[in-house]
């Protein structure tokens, strides 16, 4: 039997043509699918408008977001009134913004006031209460919930000076928003007296230590030392030791200049007029040397008035006067 070559060639050509067409169709189909997937990806999720939920209760706000296919990211914050508790204070993005479905919306929810009842402040020191209220404000994110009415009423009493002896609102009263506290504070006993300690003959350092513990009022005076006197020493005082005086009566204390000073060193008298206080407050004098070293010179409870303290420091030292840890005055030794 003879094989017809022309028939075989036709058969092969037909099948090859069908194969090429099939491959081309497959390539076109894959291309169409890829393009479709690309455009679906580019189009992204469905867009939606952010609803306004500020001022609404949390549950209602969550339901509105759910309808819009949006998801919450919650933050808690104290507010100025207990009536806000559980309600939305802020939202981000703001209402009316167009976003993709599935977007997270930041909601700030009030957890009410940080305290809900007035504390019992009676028998506490007014300065400690001030510090506590400042700490409370910082904890509450800067919200001023409790403030002290100024000026404070001071009365003489048997309680230590600075002690709160009455308050309004009463302890345990409910707090629903910013509240003003009214205090009556002890001025100490009326006509309080002290016994003048023996200062004559003491060095300046020892005299300052004794003054800080006895609570007397004081006024330092400097003088050149005589031949028979020691330097930097108390050589006289008025009134004399063991004299009973009113706590407000200043004791004049005369101190001699030093026998010799080191190079670049100054001995002088720090002098600053502190406003009068209703009772003695903690006052501190410190020295900040040019080297950066900080040292305490004197700490005392002081009513106010002309505050004088001897010092011996290197030129360029900063003398820093503080009351209740608040700087009142700063001056540099040897600066004119």
Q: What string of DSSP letters covers 101-145?
A: TT-EEEEEEE---S--B----TTSBHHHHHHHHHHHHHHTTT---
Tokens standing for residue 246: 């009113």
The pLDDT value given to residue 35: 63
pLDDT tens digits in sequence order for the chain, 336 residues long: 444 555 656 555 666 677 677 767 777 877 776 666 555 554 445 899 999 999 999 999 999 999 999 999 998 887 766 678 889 999 999 999 999 998 999 999 987 767 778 999 999 999 999 988 888 887 777 777 889 999 899 999 999 999 999 999 999 998 877 899 999 999 988 888 899 999 999 999 999 999 999 989 999 999 999 989 999 999 999 999 999 999 889 999 999 999 889 888 999 999 999 998 888 899 999 999 998 999 999 999 998 999 999 999 999 999 999 998 899 999 999 865
The pLDDT value given to residue 191: 83
Give the span between the Cα atoms of 256 and 207, in whole angstroms. 13
Give the span between the Cα atoms of 150 and 136, in whole angstroms. 19
The pLDDT value given to residue 3: 45
The pLDDT value given to residue 332: 95
The alpha carbon torsion through 313, 317, 319, 324 (nearest 10 deg) reads -110
């Amino acid at each position: 039997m003879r094989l017809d070559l022309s028939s075989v060639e036709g058969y092969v050509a037909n099948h090859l043509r069908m194969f090429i067409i099939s491959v081309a169709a497959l390539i076109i189909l894959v291309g169409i699918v890829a393009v479709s997937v690309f455009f679906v990806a580019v189009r992204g999720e469905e867009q939606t408008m952010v609803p306004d939920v500020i001022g609404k209760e949390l549950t209602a706000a969550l339901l509105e977001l759910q309808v819009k296919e949006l998801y919450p990211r919650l933050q808690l914050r104290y507010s100025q009134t207990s009536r806000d508790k559980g309600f939305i204070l802020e939202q981000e993005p703001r209402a009316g913004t167009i976003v993709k479905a599935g977007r997270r919306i930041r909601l700030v929810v009030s957890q009410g006031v940080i305290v809900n009842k007035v504390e019992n402040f009676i028998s506490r020191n007014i300065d400690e209460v001030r510090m506590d209220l400042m700490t409370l404000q910082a904890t509450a994110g800067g919200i001023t919930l409790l403030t002290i009415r100024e000026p404070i009423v001071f009365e003489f009493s048997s309680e230590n000076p600075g002690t709160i002896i009455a308050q309004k609102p009463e302890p345990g009263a409910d707090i629903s928003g910013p509240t003003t506290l009214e205090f009556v504070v002890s001025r100490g006993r009326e006509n309080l007296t002290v016994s003048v300690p023996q200062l004559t003959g003491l060095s300046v350092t020892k005299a300052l230590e004794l003054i800080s513990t006895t609570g007397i009022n004081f006024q330092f005076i400097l003088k050149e030392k005589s031949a028979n006197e020691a330097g930097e020493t108390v050589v006289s005082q008025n009134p004399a030791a063991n004299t009973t005086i009113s706590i407000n009566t200043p004791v004049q204390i005369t101190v001699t200049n030093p026998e010799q000073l080191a190079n670049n060193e100054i001995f002088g008298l720090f002098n600053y007029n502190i406003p009068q206080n209703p009772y003695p407050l903690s006052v501190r004098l410190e020295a900040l040397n040019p080297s950066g070293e900080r040292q305490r010179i004197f700490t005392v409870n002081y009513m106010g008035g002309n505050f004088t303290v001897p010092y011996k420091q290197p030129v360029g030292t900063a003398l820093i006067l503080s009351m209740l840890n608040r700087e009142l005055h700063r001056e540099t030794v040897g600066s004119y």
